[in-house]
Structures are given as structure tokens and as C-alpha cells.
Structure 1
Amino acid sequence: MQKGEIAPEAVMRLAVGGGGERFLAAHHVEAARRLARLFDRARMMQRVTMSYDPARAGGGRDRPRQGDLADSAIQARRVLDGLARRMPRDCWNMLTDVCGFDKGLQQIETERNWPRRSAKLVLRIGLDQLTSIMGLGEKAEGRAASATRNWLPERPPMFAEPTE
């Protein structure tokens, strides 16, 4: 399974829950999964190993430069920029660390000198903000019903009437 197909590990731990009541609902997990896919598509994930891909190694006369990005990556970065502008800064930074850089909650608390177990509250508030922006809710709701349309005046019979 590719990176980004499932929600980040920190989100999944809070969504599974141990005692019966889950801290994060399914729409929170879906929002985190979509955000992780956006970060992946934007090519903003950290690289761990060296890449000898000519597109990444540098340009020459016949090779593209490192700064060239696919249109899909540029569009994903624009969407991320729009999301960042619509959310509170601390919430966006939390979601970036968890969904973009796959950091754990304890690591984030340590880096920011936050009290223990405060990162999961900020994560939930951030995911609540993100789900409202994305239009996700606890219950799936579709569009209002519309008149049924078809291109046939009436359904033709499946079997021909027997002739005698």
C-alpha cells in the first residue's frame, strides 16, 4: 500500500481507541488521509535516501532542472496554501507535522514544550477545522433528491410477448 493511502499513524492510533469510545471519528480520519495525500502529491515529503533521478539531480542541456514540478504537484501546493490560510496557525502546524511529516504526538509536544496529552487536543481541533473546510461531516449527506431522468420513453420489455 502506498504512502498516503491510509491515514497517518498518530491519527490511526487515536481513531482505533482502546476502551470503546474513540477519540477521533471516521470523518476526522478521512480528512487526515486526504491531507496526507495532498502532501504526497505536492512532493513535500522528506527524502531519506539519495535519488539519482535526472529530474532531481540537476539540469543540463538535455535534462530538466530540479525546480521543475508537475502540474499536479503545483496544484496540490496551491490547495495546501489555501487550506493554510483558512485555518488557525497552531492547528495548521499540527496537521502539517502529523499528516505531512508523519511526526508522533509525543515528539511534537517535546519540540514545542507543550504539556503532555495536549497535542491530541490540538490535533482534534485542527481536524475539526479541516473537516468543516472540506465539507465532511459525521453523517454522509448527499444532494437533495431530483426528478429521475432517463433517455428512454419507457423501459422496453425484457422478453418478447409470446405470439400465438
Structure 2
Amino acid sequence: MPAADAWPAALGQLSRARNGEPAFLEAHHLEAASRLQKLFERSRLRARTTMNYGPRVDRGHGGHTDDVGDMALDARRQLAAIYADLPRDCAQIVLDVCGYEKGLQDIERERGWPRRSAKLVLRIGLEALAARFGLTASVTGRETATTRNWLGDGARPTEFG
């Protein structure tokens, strides 16, 4: 899992425990947010903030999708599927926080929501996103693992007696 300073500021603040109380966001929420953030970066949806001084390549169509590689197109398809699966408000706030790195207060102001409501919608969205990725708060699996060895029948090699 990435370091706390690698997450957007809103997630970093909500992942810290305060005054002996547990953190608002759990580890599986943060892992889901981290996966979505990586997917968003691969999709190249964020606007560029610097000038490109390289030679301009005209592809003939003038279309923006000509410049997008296969990896970015695949990431955009995955983001579209996530957006379709999650409830609308949850999907928008998760993408705003994890993708565009907006603050919760800015989101509440833009949408006219009451104070502290964005963090609740964010948690609901991250819970749904974690479930979509197959992440849960606790690890589940078999009680014991089967013992395996090189020979398969339980015999030891002769040189070890």
C-alpha cells in the first residue's frame, strides 16, 4: 500500500486515527482508492499543466483519440465500467477525489451539499469500489494451507536421510 503522503489530501486526513478513535477510512478503502488513482493516471484524463515544446505531429483527423495509446484506452474503458457500476454521486466524488484530487470542501461547495456530507458519500463510494475490486476489511481464506513438497508423496530426498 502506498505511503500516506501519496494519497490526495482528503484521503490522507481521513485515514489517520485521532484521539484514540479508529480512522474514518480503512485499509481496503485506501487500497481501492490507490488502484483507482493508478487507473486514472494511466487513462491520461487529467489536463496537462505544462507546455509541450516537442514537434507537433498532425495525424490528419485532428481528433484527440488518435494520440491516446492502447493502455490509456483500456484504462478509460475500465473507468467507464466503474462509473456505470457505482451509484452516480458516489462515482463522481470518488473520481473527483482520487482522480482530480479535489478537496472535500470544494466538492461540497460545488454541489451545494451540507458540510461533512462529502466524506460520507466518499466512504460509501470507496466501499462499493473496494467490493468491485474484491477487497474487504478482513482477510478470508482456508484455515490451513496444504503442505507441498518436491516429491509429492511425502518422502524426503535420500541425501538428507
The whole-number CA distance in structure 1 between the counterparts of 2:151 and 2:97 is 52
Pairwise CA distance, 1:12: 1.4
**What is the CA-CA distance between 1:140 and the residue it aligns to?**
2.2
Offset, 1:75: 1.1
Q: Which has the higher contact order (CA 8 A, sep 6+)?
A: 2
Superposition RMSD in Å:
2.7
Unaligned runs of 5+ in 1: none
Work out which of the two has the higher radius of gyration on C-alpha atoms and give 1 or 2.
Answer: 1
Tell me which residue corresponds to 2:40.
39
Q: Normalising by structure 1, what TM-score?
A: 0.79
Cα deviations by residue, 1:12-50 (Å, 9 ceiling, x for unpaired): 110113223211111111111110000001111222111
What's the counterpart of residue 10 of structure 1? Answer: 10
Structure 2 length as normaliser, TM-score? 0.80
Written as runs of structure 1 = structure 2, the 5 A alignment for 1:97-136 is 97-136=96-135
Q: Name the SS of the counterpart of 1:103 in structure 2.
A: coil
**SS at 1:67 equivalent:** helix
User: What is the aligned residue count?
Assistant: 152
**Identical aligned pairs, as a percentage?**
49
Runs of 4+ in 1 over 3 A off after TM superposition: 142-151
* Aligned mates of 2:30, 2:69 — CA distance in 1: 28
Superposition map of 1:26-105 within 5 A = 26-54=27-55, 57-59=56-58, 67-105=66-104
Distance 1:67 1:144 in 2: 51
